[in-house]
Amino acid sequence: MRLSIFILLTLFVSNFYGQSSSSTPKYSNEFLNIGVGARALGMSNSIIASTNDVHSGYWNPTGLTNLASDLQVGLMHAEYFAGIAKYDYGAIAKRIDSTSAFAVSFIRFGVDNIPNTTELIDAQGNINYDRISYFSAADMAFLLSYGKKLKGGLSLGGSAKIIHRQVGDFAKAWGFGLDFSASYQYKKWRFAALARDITTTFNAWSYNLSDEMLETFTLTGNEIPENGLEITLPRIIIGASRTFDIGENFNLITELDADVTSDGMRNVLISASPFSIDPHFGMELGFKNIIFLRSGVGNIQQSTEFNGKEITTVQPNIGLGIKIKGLSIDYALTDIGDASVALYSNIFSLRFNLNPKSISN
């Protein structure tokens, strides 16, 4: 039993968090690509061009310049995999003047109360369940974002992020990275580009393994983790959105985005090395700027059925929103896993104005 638990722990640490002295795992810091806000998740994360609220600190800092009020707060709590993994997000955005704004955001994605049975069996070979302890495996990020409007419909922005990742007392990492964004508005069209980890983002890992852990790693034939750097390569997201007025009461926002990754072949629509392209599309139908219906399509993948036939799968998402004075409540039915498995979760988020005073753009 002790060996099986350690095998699982070893695979978790080595494969998910990285262990070489200088490595570039394909899905490094992937928790930062899940997304925030039920509005965006309901639109399959097709939001970087049309974002205009506190969540812009995460999606595209240039959107902060379109805040409808002086001060906004955003909150979200989500649970994935039958509540095993918990995702928490909070942010606050503030206008500096009529052309600039900043935001502070915090993200945590973690699994808590994981049993640690490394001391379940004592030196005499006796099982003692009182020796079981518990630990958490969590990824956290702190973002400081800024956006500025320039002349001619152009806006620029960026984010600095500090990353902390920890697996109990066994392993931890600190990292730092930079994002840069630009957007351009022409009439009812908006175009945007976001360069995440533009300078590459690093996580400096350190391990604190007991003698018993080291012995178990050796007995099970697993490589002993070493202190080192884990590198996150740049990701470019480009998007275009268009707003349509439908009569006096309705308006429709459509957006097409594409994620361009630089870490090799991925199971996406356009898979190549070193660049892969993952397109996704979303739309939002609004009624009197009070009630919103959203949908999106993304996560396009190639899957193999039991009979060996290859098929293309897509992930549809849907969402609803309601705005009551300064409070917005958003809901999304979405999935962060394999589209063919469809492990959907119900996501709710809140967005509200601490200072309801509206500022014209």
Alpha helices, DSSP H, located in the chain: 2-11, 17, 38-42, 56-59, 211-219
pLDDT digits (tens, 9 = 90+) for 22-47: 445 667 888 999 999 999 999 999 99
Q: Which structure tokens are listed for 59?
A: 């999606």
Write the DSSP assignment of 175-206 as a string of letters: EEEEEEEEEEEETTEEEEEEEETTT-EEEEEE
pTM for this one?
0.84
C-alpha span between 41 and 192 (Å, rounded) = 18
pLDDT digits (tens, 9 = 90+) for 282-299: 999 999 999 999 999 998
The domain 2-358 is classified under which CATH number: 1.10.357.10, 3.20.20.120, 3.90.550.10, 2.40.160.40? 2.40.160.40
Q: Which structure tokens are listed for 150?
A: 């320039």
Lowest-pLDDT choice from 66-80, 116-130, 250-264, 309-323: 116-130
Of 70, 76, 72, 42, the closest CA to residue 56 belongs to 72
pLDDT at 216: 66
Lowest-pLDDT choice from 6-15, 250-259, 304-313, 341-350: 6-15
What is the H or E stretch that residue 74 is in?
strand 69-80
If you ran DSSP here, which 8-state letter would residue 63 be given? Answer: G
Q: How far is CA 79 from CA 74, 102, 108, 109, 273, in A?
A: 17, 28, 12, 9, 33
The distance of Cα 125 from the centroid of its chain, to the nearest Å, equals: 44
pLDDT digits (tens, 9 = 90+) for 8-20: 333 333 333 333 3
